[in-house]
Homo-oligomer: A and B are copies of this chain.
Amino acid sequence: MPQPELERLLAEIHEQPDVVQRLLDRQVGAVRDAASVFRQRQPAAIVLVARGSSDNAAVYGRYLFEVCNRQLTSLAAPSGLTLYGRGPRLDQTVVIGVSQSGQGEDVVAYVREARRQGAATIAIVNDETSPLAEAAERVLGCLAGPELSIPATKTVTSQMTLLGMLSAVLDDPNAGATRLKGLPAAMRGALELRTAASALARQLASTSLGSVIGRGFGFPPALEIALKLKETSYTRAEPFSAADFLHGPVAVVEPNYSALLIDVGGRSSQAALELAAAISQRGGRPGFLRAGDVSPLPDDDELPNVSLNAPVDEPFAPIVALVLGQLFAVELALAMGLDPARPRGLHKVTSTR
């Protein structure tokens, strides 16, 4: 039986290397222009405002800006403004709204209010004719083309890529986006690992998948992969940073409990291995998604994993790891007999009052 929604979701997942290549080819100028705002303003803080998958991209942007650019970065709680009518003073900030549709009312309201107060405003948005694009002074278009599947995929990696490009240009204006140039090939490499993702999914499908955990740059893709798992297979895996997981939630680990650990190389690798040990010690089962400059796992046969060694620095490897996570989410749903492209009761645009 044909499954047109599933075919479409897989097609959108497979478009991602081309979308990222397009951004690297065509958006460096717009990114440089956005970066010039930072040099003019010397903002006291960057504020990222987003919802859903775009908010996970925003969390990624926060790690980039704080670690690679030493810019204090806050993730906005727009309900202060939209629910109570009182948000923070934003005149010394750069506010970046991140959205696929550019329609989310609270994100648009926040960016509009920030601009009214005198903040520099940037929209990272796929629909460049949307209210969010209208609200912001500068627009970085995702150039991802229409995304028709309900689970967002290519729009998320395109948002992450634009944030990565912006961070790279802020760090070194001359180098531009060269540090990201290995991304499309690495993402193609990730897409070739569907069989391995399927094997991992079948291994974990018989367990109770309770969490998706990452440390440092491994945390933002953990957030987004956990959301994909909810949308595609109703798996209630909760995302955690490694530090927070060990601060209480580790109590829930028991035999049959499994956790998906995200390793993006560099400093995140050691943390993933330590978590795996802590989970195994309590009788739980760790599985790994690994992408970037990752070393072979000890006892490779024993620890279920999908691993892609690719020449992508740790700050940009989350974009590759997310591709593995998308494949894993699709395959887990299929292993459970579900249609990953047709989430119960979800529509593409969600508005929040």
Contact = CB atoms under 8 A, between A and B. Distances in A.
Contact of A44 (B44, B52, B68): B44
Interface in A58-87: 62-63, 65-68, 70-75, 77-80, 83-84, 86-87
Contact of A77 (B66, B71, B78): B66
A219 B351 CA distance: 18
Nearest to A71: B88
B236 A251 contact: no
Interface of A: 44-45, 47, 51-53, 55, 62-63, 65-68, 70-75, 77-80, 83-84, 86-90, 92-93, 106, 210, 215-216, 219, 227, 230-231, 234, 236, 238, 241-244, 246-254, 267-268, 271, 282, 343-346, 350, 352
Contacts of A90: 72
Q: Determine the main DSSP class of A at the interface with B.
A: mixed
A314 to B, nearest CB: 9
A278 B49 CA distance: 25
30 contacts: A44-B72, A45-B72, A45-B74, A51-B247, A52-B244, A52-B247, A65-B88, A66-B80, A66-B87, A67-B84, A67-B87, A70-B89, A71-B89, A72-B93, A79-B215, A79-B216, A79-B243, A83-B216, A84-B216, A84-B267, A227-B248, A230-B249, A230-B252, A234-B252, A234-B254, A236-B238, A242-B352, A246-B350, A247-B352, A282-B345
Contacts of A249: 227, 230
Given A45-B44, A88-B72, A350-B246, A267 B83 contact: yes
Given A86-B70, A247-B51, A252-B236, A344 B282 contact: yes
A253 B345 contact: yes
A79 B75 CA distance: 16
Given A66-B77, A70-B86, A86-B70, A230 B210 contact: no
B86 A55 contact: no
Contacts of A268: 83
Contact of A248 (B65, B210, B247, B346): B346
A341 B137 CA distance: 53
Contacts of A282: 344-345
Contacts of A84: 67, 216, 267
Contacts of A238: 236, 238
A215 B62 CA distance: 23
A86 B67 contact: yes
